């Protein structure tokens, strides 16, 4: 983003301690203009994030991945990449089932790394 002059990273974190550390690290790296760290529950903080969203990394509480995806889905750009980490966990089964159903607007594949990663492309249904 820095080199291309386009894009912005928005992340959310529930822990105030982690938010403080993340903001300090981003500041020290000189990327404060490119990264926003929102403090609070993702189901609240991400509700106000604008689109289009080109990449979504879902690596929080596994039970929350599908609700978070559904929350931001209307702002995903056609062709957006959605990455669901730890896809082999039982608590990710609803998420994996959802993104693997073409009727929900995704083309999805398992990326077989430790604990699994589900790579999905939003088709814009």
Neighbours of 46 (CB within 10 A): 19
| Residue 52 pLDDT class (50, 70, 90 cuts) | very high
CA gap 100, 86 in Å, rounded: 15
Q: What is the DSSP letter of 123?
A: -
The answer on pLDDT for 4 being more than 90 is: no
| Residue 16 pLDDT class (50, 70, 90 cuts) | very high
For residue 38, give the nearest of 71, 58, 13 by alpha carbon: 13
Give the tokens for residue 24: 């300090």
């Amino acid at each position: 983003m820095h080199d291309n002059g386009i894009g912005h990273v928005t992340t959310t974190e529930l822990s105030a301690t982690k938010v403080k550390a993340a903001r300090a690290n981003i500041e020290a790296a000189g990327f404060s203009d490119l990264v926003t760290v929102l403090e609070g529950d993702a189901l609240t903080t991400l509700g106000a994030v604008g689109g289009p969203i080109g990449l979504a990394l879902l690596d929080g509480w596994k039970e929350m991945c599908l609700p978070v995806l559904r929350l931001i889905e209307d702002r995903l750009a056609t062709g957006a990449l959605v990455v669901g980490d730890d896809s082999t966990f039982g608590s990710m089964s609803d998420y994996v089932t959802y993104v693997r159903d073409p009727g929900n607007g995704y083309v999805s594949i398992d990326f077989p790394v430790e604990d699994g990663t589900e790579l999905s492309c939003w088709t814009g249904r």
